[in-house]
Structure 1
């Protein structure tokens, strides 16, 4: 059973609540910038559209800096680009300056870019014991229990030393660059935004403490400093 406190009537309502929580956190600390790591996919697309249409005027964009949880190794103009999605649906519409986002260069050499992005994040995001501590890390969940392109066959990435690494989707062999476990766990707010009836079964397993080490997403959920779930099933 998934507790009612995590459930919303629609992806739009779940997105509205998540954005509200981000803005409320910013209001509590009005003097400092905030860092957010974004994911891609259908559910974040709803989040971006809601943010632009309903919350753009209330968002202190000058204090927000965006990063990515993961990225497919494609150019930003490719339909599969996570950066491209955010740029089309949100950044481009609000004219967010390029100085306020740090994209993963998906068209670069994957191994080199994972090293470069790890260094960039550690240089621009506050760290504790060399682990970047984002204000918000926004995650999704796959039906197989993966999150941040950390698939069940690569659970070693959950304890990797560097904040980003190369990952390969085991189903279609596409190459990705992904955030590893430590930054997801150490974020001030680790937020799972999940939509679709097809995610109900895996979410029940992820929330089950007895299965915390079986799936990457369940490991993150049970080890994160401040896990939050916004689900529309």
Structure 2
């Protein structure tokens, strides 16, 4: 774990989401740039975050300046309940005044390899670059109970050495096609926030924090921004095994 990593622990998931929402408000309010690029995550905890942003921050975030992207997506239609886009649209975009042109979804209905190339080109065209790699102002990530993050799974660690910025992957158990940003672009972000809640995540989180030998098998261990900051927002059950 990088020395610059910060860990913030809260009593329950709702407080984790409140804290992240406040950070997003502060960053976007104070941004000197005319746009702010965020890569979103799927999962239950981000759903709570989206609800909080829509309810508590609808009127105090400059939505017209924020561009929304995704760290990964399942290869399903945008109307599928499995779609990360649909979740964000249902619980956030449909409740706040974000322009449709600011929403850059991964088109999960397209052939995976072709869509990965298209999305990489869209990032390349629209985002700022550092060392010729696209830069997100903020990347939101989750931690799977197998240690995966985005759609990079434990048997796919080579994605952290991948030269491309977006690739097609498969879930190792279900075989479901996924599209994910690679380690190259994730680790080039200005800020990365992990949101981790629930006791089922506690062993993996403890390994990442305290057991380097075990952590080396986990994709989330390799998230380490080269020119930015990393903050873990965890609830007490998820952090219960950290020493």
Q: Which category describes the TM-score, using the shorter chain as reference length?
A: over 0.9
Contact 1:49-1:90 within 8 A present in 2 as well: yes
Deviation at 1:54, TM superposition (A): 0.9
More divergent stretch after superposition (17-26 vs 68-77): 17-26
- 1:154 to 1:31, Cα distance in 2 relative to 1, 3 A: closer
CA distance in 2, matches of 1:42, 1:26: 24
Deviation at 1:88, TM superposition (A): 0.5
- 1:108 to 1:203, Cα distance in 2 relative to 1, 3 A: same
1:179 pairs, out of 178, 181, 201, with: 181
> Mind listing any 5+ residue stretches in structure 2 that lack a counterpart?
238-243
> Pairwise mapping of residues 32-181 of structure 1 onto structure 2 (< 5 A)?
32-181=34-183
Contact 2:53-2:92 within 8 A present in 1 as well: yes
Say whether residues 1:216 and 2:211 are aligned partners.
Answer: no
- 1:5 to 1:144, Cα distance in 2 relative to 1, 3 A: closer
Secondary structure of 1:74's counterpart equals coil
More divergent stretch after superposition (19-28 vs 156-165): 19-28
TM-score by length of structure 2 reads: 0.90
TM-score by length of structure 1 reads: 0.94
Higher-helix-fraction structure: 1
CA distance in 2, matches of 1:59, 1:83: 20
Contact 1:122-1:130 within 8 A present in 2 as well: no
Across the aligned residues of Structure 1 and Structure 2, the Cα RMSD in angstroms comes to: 1.8
Say whether residues 1:228 and 2:204 are aligned partners.
Answer: no
Q: How many residues get paired? A: 231
Contact 2:58-2:96 within 8 A present in 1 as well: yes
